[in-house]
Amino acid sequence: MNSILKNILAVIVGLLIGGIVNGLLIMNSAYIISPPADADLTTMAGLIKAMPLMEPKHFLVPFLAHALGTIVGAFITVKIAANYKLPLALLIGLLFFIGGIYTVFVLPAPLWFDVVDLVGAYIPMAWIGAKLARAKPTQQRRRRSSRTRVDA
């Protein structure tokens, strides 16, 4: 397979699988840490209404969802990619980071959470995912010709 196509596929699969990990954790967060009483976290309107009732413990699962989704996405991307593995893993982190910025504007979470989430859950986790997958800083290797070069 062409290396460019393989790298594009790696990013797409990394985003999909990372997004699934993120989504599954978010969807099951109420089973992990009970939401505030009478909070409806199944709709965006309910989530916005419940946000002032949430304690710091309620933000643990969303942070883990963002961080683990990014780590898994970067890891998968590195495992599939043909080359440029670390930059592609960091691209996964950047794309999830953009999603995190969007979330900051949509949900009125506390400022401390927004800062911790944006600083800690995306780019650093993409780097960790790449390192866990054994990505090297540079994956492009020059092939030396078997012929020696003769300068005229």
Question: What is Dmax (Cα atoms) for the chain?
Answer: 83
The pLDDT value given to residue 150: 52
Tokens representing residue 39 in the block: 């909070």
Mean pLDDT within 68-78: 98
For residue 137, name the pLDDT band (cuts at 50, 70, 90): low
Higher confidence at residue 106 or residue 143? 106
pLDDT over threshold 90, residue 42: no
CA distances from 46 to 41, 61, 106 (A): 5, 18, 13
Q: E strand or H helix at 57, and its extent?
A: none
Give the Cβ contact number of residue 79 at 10 Å. 17
The pLDDT value given to residue 138: 58
The pLDDT value given to residue 35: 87
CA distances from 142 to 4, 134, 137, 138 (A): 17, 20, 15, 11
| Amino acid (1-letter code) at residue 131 | K
> Which of 83-92, 113-122, 140-149 is predicted with the least confidence, judged by mean pLDDT?
140-149
Tokens representing residue 13 in the block: 């699969």
Candidates 141, 138, 135, 140; CA nearest to 14 is: 135
